[in-house]
Amino acid sequence: MRADYARRHPEVPVAALPRPSFKVKTANGLTAAIIEWIRLHGGAARRISVTGRTLDQRKHFIDVLGHHRHVGQVKWIPPSMVRGSADISCIVRTRQGVVIPWELEIKIGRDTQSSAQKAFEKSIKDAGGHYSIVRSLDDFVEQWEKLIEG
């Protein structure tokens, strides 16, 4: 983030560059912080979104009395992603140089895995990948150290 800002604003001294801040009490904030951590430590990470999208097929018109009307419907298009996919998909390298695919599911508070997420976890582990449920930044750092130290 800082490197991108520095590239776009070369006139700003390095000491004056804004530092990113993350609200790690929310799932979105924790996800952003973890992705940035992985990138800063030489890994590649991306956020996975498994939501579909809406397709608005309504037509808007004004009737003869001047009232605004909508005719038609809004459709929900299901996602093309695998149901139950983890929130973060990344590739990291251990201290021994082994490259590991790692899927991270972010769970805040009392949030639990759905059956689709459990099936996805099983498929990742069966394929030889790593899958982790992360509940806090400290939890992630602990899992990171175990995985990287191998």
Backbone angles phi, psi at 14, to 5 degrees: -55, -40
- Report the distance separating Cα 9 and Cα 3, nearest Å: 10
Cβ burial of 22 (10 Å; 0-12, 13-18, 19+) is middle
pLDDT on residue 121: 96
pLDDT on residue 1: 60
Q: Where are the domains of the chain?
A: 10-50+82-149
Question: What does the chain come to in residues?
Answer: 150
Reported as a single tens digit per residue, the pLDDT across 114-145 is 999 999 999 999 999 999 999 999 999 999 99
> Contact 134/143 with Cβ under 8 angstroms?
yes
Q: Where are the alpha helices (DSSP H) in the chain?
A: 2-8, 27-40, 115-126, 137-149
Q: Name the pairing type of β-strands 130-134 and 99-106.
A: parallel
- Per-residue burial over 84-111, b = 16 or more CB atoms within 10 Å of its CB, e = otherwise: bbbbbbbebeeeeeeebebbbbbbbeee
CATH 3.40.1390.10 fits 10-50+82-149, yes or no: no
pLDDT on residue 23: 79
pLDDT on residue 9: 81
- Between the CA of residue 111 and those of 26, 86, 106, 108, 114, what are the distances in Å? 12, 14, 9, 6, 9
pLDDT on residue 51: 79
pLDDT on residue 40: 86
pLDDT on residue 99: 92
pLDDT on residue 150: 67
Which of the residues in the chain have pLDDT under 50?
Answer: none
